[in-house]
Amino acid sequence: MSEDAPTGERAETADGWRLVTAAEGTAPPPGATTVVAQGTFDLLHPGHVHYLREAAAMGDHLTVIVARVDNVTHKEPPVVPATQRRRTVAALAAVDRAVLGHPEDIFVPVATTEPDVLVLGHDQHHDEAAIAAELDARGVDCEVRRASERPAREGEFRSTSEIVACIIERRDG
């Protein structure tokens, strides 16, 4: 079993495949405006906190989908195990629920959650129109929005790559 192996509750996917997902937090109450945010969250930093606070403000209940290692193909894979990243994200006050992403199809947990709003991070590589079109094709009726960038603050990191670069410079320098 890999470090990315899920534990916890079960959910049925649209194609009938049984997926065990790990979740922390509560499901949205009936009638709540549900919001989904997603990301890798390898080294949690103020940019992540800004993104999730802004996403939470767009509705009543925020579910965060934490990417699995195999789904992180646009950058270096995360160092921190998926379950640890999920637990860390779930501990943030803005987050009502944190789940691990699907091992093969990033849209499955979005469809399962049935959000009113899907919020992308300001610097995430996803194309909003393409995401909206795929969700529409899957029968998921939700608005796709992009969060704002966190204003720069003196001496503060805003990205995982900045943190990693600084560690390498200080340790190797």
Query: Which long-range contacts (C-beta less than 8 Å, at least 24 apart) are formed by 123-131?
Result: 123/149, 123/159, 124/39, 125/74
What would the mean pLDDT of 24-50 be, rounded to a whole number? 90
Residue 41 in contact with residue 66, Cβ under 8 Å? yes
Q: Indicate the CATH number for domain 10-172.
A: 3.40.50.620
Q: What is the pLDDT of residue 110?
A: 93
List C-alpha distances in Å: 126 to 5, 55, 121, 161, 169: 25, 16, 9, 18, 30
What would the mean pLDDT of 56-67 be, rounded to a whole number? 95
pLDDT in tens, 77-122: 788 898 999 999 999 999 999 999 988 888 999 999 999 999 998 7
87: three-class secondary structure by DSSP: helix
What sign results for the dihedral spanned by CA atoms 94, 80, 38, 16? negative
- pLDDT at 14 exceeding the cut of 60: no
Query: Can you tell me the distance from the alpha carbon of 87 to that of 97, in angstroms, rounded to the nearest whole number?
Result: 10
Query: Can you tell me the distance from the alpha carbon of 52 to that of 46, in angstroms, rounded to the nearest whole number?
Result: 10
- pLDDT at 67 exceeding the cut of 80: yes
Tokens read off for 49? 């906190």
- Give the best-scoring range by mean pLDDT among 51-60, 79-88, 159-168: 51-60
Residue-averaged pLDDT of the chain: 82
Tokens read off for 99? 């789940």
For residue 18, the cross-strand partners are 12
pLDDT classification of 173: cutoffs 50, 70, 90: low
- pLDDT at 1 exceeding the cut of 50: no
- pLDDT at 25 exceeding the cut of 90: no
Q: What is the pLDDT of residue 22?
A: 60
Residue 143 in contact with residue 128, Cβ under 8 Å? no
Query: Can you tell me the distance from the alpha carbon of 31 to that of 19, in angstroms, rounded to the nearest whole number?
Result: 26
- pLDDT at 4 exceeding the cut of 50: no
61's enclosing H/E stretch is strand 61-66
